[in-house]
Amino acid sequence: MSNPADKHDPFDPFGIVASMGEWCCLLKAARELKDVDGEMMETMLDASATGPVPEGPEAVAKVHSIVNLMRSLSLDAEAVRQRDPETMQTLEAACLRCTQRGRCARELWAGTAADAYPEFCPNAARLDRLRHA
């Protein structure tokens, strides 16, 4: 059985046209990903506009995670920021250094973060203090 790649185009003996077609597809996909990434960054910046903007998209996503985790615990991040900005900065800084971002995102998405956060969150003790304050 012959493979389409085994057939040679007499007008393109080196496969340059086929390679260019594949390259164009990759460029198109890269542009689409860039557009999606840009839209996501704007969304995250809008959501975290209430405080100091960290550097880089990963930092913004992590700070957004602490806000979502606090929301799942019925804590108002904006109220904490206004009442005690140092505490909020400490929470954000710990979140920025966290190595469990994937798990945090999965737990938030699944709606189980409020129960599971003590197992992985570096802010667990601080959040518990806020919950019982």
Report yes or no: 98 and 56 within 8 Å, Cβ to Cβ.
no
The three-state DSSP-derived secondary structure of 50-85 is: CCCCCCCHHHHHHHHHHHHHHHHCCCCHHHHHHHCH
Strand partners, 101: none
Residue 3 domain flag = no
- Which residues span the domain enclosing 109? 11-131
pLDDT confidence bin for 126, thresholds 50/70/90 = very high
- Per the structure, the count of domains in the chain is 1
Average pLDDT value for residue range 28-52: 60
Residue 2 domain flag = no
What are the CB-based long-range contacts (under 8 Å, 24+) for 38-47?
A: none
Q: Would you state the pLDDT for residue 97?
A: 85
Residues 57-109: tens digit of each pLDDT: 555 555 678 999 999 999 999 999 999 999 999 999 888 888 888 898 889 98
| Residues 6 or more apart whose Cβ sits within 8 Å of residue 78 | 50
Residue 5 domain flag = no
Q: What is the percent of the chain where pLDDT is above 70? A: 61
| Residues 6 or more apart whose Cβ sits within 8 Å of residue 89 | 52
pLDDT at 50 over 50: no
Residue 89 domain flag = yes
